[in-house]
């Protein structure tokens, strides 16, 4: 049977989040065809968490995520291509990008960026796009005992990774969720990037304020807590997010391409 394909071309050029008003979209909308498509499944409580935050079906229709926040006196703009995880971070005196193959660093002057660009390039995206990044391939799920945090008892799901998944396959996460509503309210995590060894040192972020963005619940702010004897105690730092967009727009590869003069950020 002959299928009809409708092409919609909106003639605006594609750049990053800062230029989203100039973006172009090419939507190809085929006639619906019945196909046998494998649907990924998740453990019951994990799926309930996803559904509470908008659902995997809705998330999977999205192609780019953009957000801003203030850091060290400057505004950082983060742009991420969701399907291939190419990324761009722009600040006043430096930018960091991942073009799908390598991470690059571009600085207006030497030492303008004082951190580890390879480690940082997707750090905030991963925290910000919770819980949906926990649907990635190569993830193992394990229920853990409920835990009382800040006076509330939460259910928990532990996340670990298969071998050779990402730069830090030995990182672990625990999502703590409200057992009545299935809202994600805490994230515990370990950092193994430098040591490449499993760690029993857990850090905690509270996710207590969410906002709707194009059918998906995304964090308005993240609050890191001081930890004593493995328990989060008092807030020590918070990040508030602004100018958040989540759309079906497919960004051009040029958005994430290494600019002239940038250097490759090697693993340290």
Q: Mind listing the pLDDT tens digit for each residue in 18-61?
A: 654 334 333 333 333 344 434 577 888 999 999 999 999 999 99
pLDDT at residue number 31: 39
Say what the pTM is: 0.84
Domains belonging to the chain, first-starting first, are 5-264 (2.50.20)
Name which of 72, 201, 219, 196 is nearest 133 in CA terms. 219
Q: Mind listing the pLDDT tens digit for each residue in 179-206?
A: 999 999 999 999 875 556 567 889 999 9
Q: Are the CB atoms for 184 and 175 separated by under 8 Å?
A: yes
φ/ψ (deg, to 5) at 256: -105, 5
């Amino acid at each position: 049977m002959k299928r009809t394909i409708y092409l919609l071309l909106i003639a605006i050029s594609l750049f990053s989040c800062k230029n989203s008003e100039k973006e172009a979209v090419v939507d190809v909308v085929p006639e619906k065809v019945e196909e046998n498509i494998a649907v990924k499944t998740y453990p019951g409580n994990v799926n309930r968490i996803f559904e509470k935050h908008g659902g995997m079906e809705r998330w999977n229709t999205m192609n780019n995520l953009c957000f801003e926040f203030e850091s060290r006196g400057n505004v950082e703009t983060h742009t991420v291509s969701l399907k291939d995880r190419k990324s761009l971070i722009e600040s006043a005196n430096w930018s960091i990008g991942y073009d799908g193959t390598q991470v690059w660093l571009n600085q207006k002057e030497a030492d303008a960026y004082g951190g580890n660009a390879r480690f940082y390039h997707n750090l905030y995206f991963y925290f910000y796009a919770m819980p949906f990044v926990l649907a990635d391939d190569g993830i193992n799920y394990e229920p853990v005992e409920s835990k009382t945090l800040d006076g509330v008892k939460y259910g928990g799901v532990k996340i670990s990774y298969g071998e050779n998944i990402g730069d830090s396959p030995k990182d672990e996460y625990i999502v703590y969720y409200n057992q009545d509503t299935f809202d994600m309210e805490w994230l515990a995590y370990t950092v193994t990037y430098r040591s490449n060894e499993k760690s029993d040192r857990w850090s905690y972020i509270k996710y207590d304020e969410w906002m709707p963005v194009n059918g998906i619940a995304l964090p308005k702010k993240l609050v890191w807590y001081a930890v004593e004897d493995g328990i989060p105690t008092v807030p020590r730092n918070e990040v508030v997010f602004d100018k958040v967009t989540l759309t079906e727009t497919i960004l051009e590869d040029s958005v994430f391409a290494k600019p002239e003069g940038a250097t490759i950020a090697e693993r340290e």
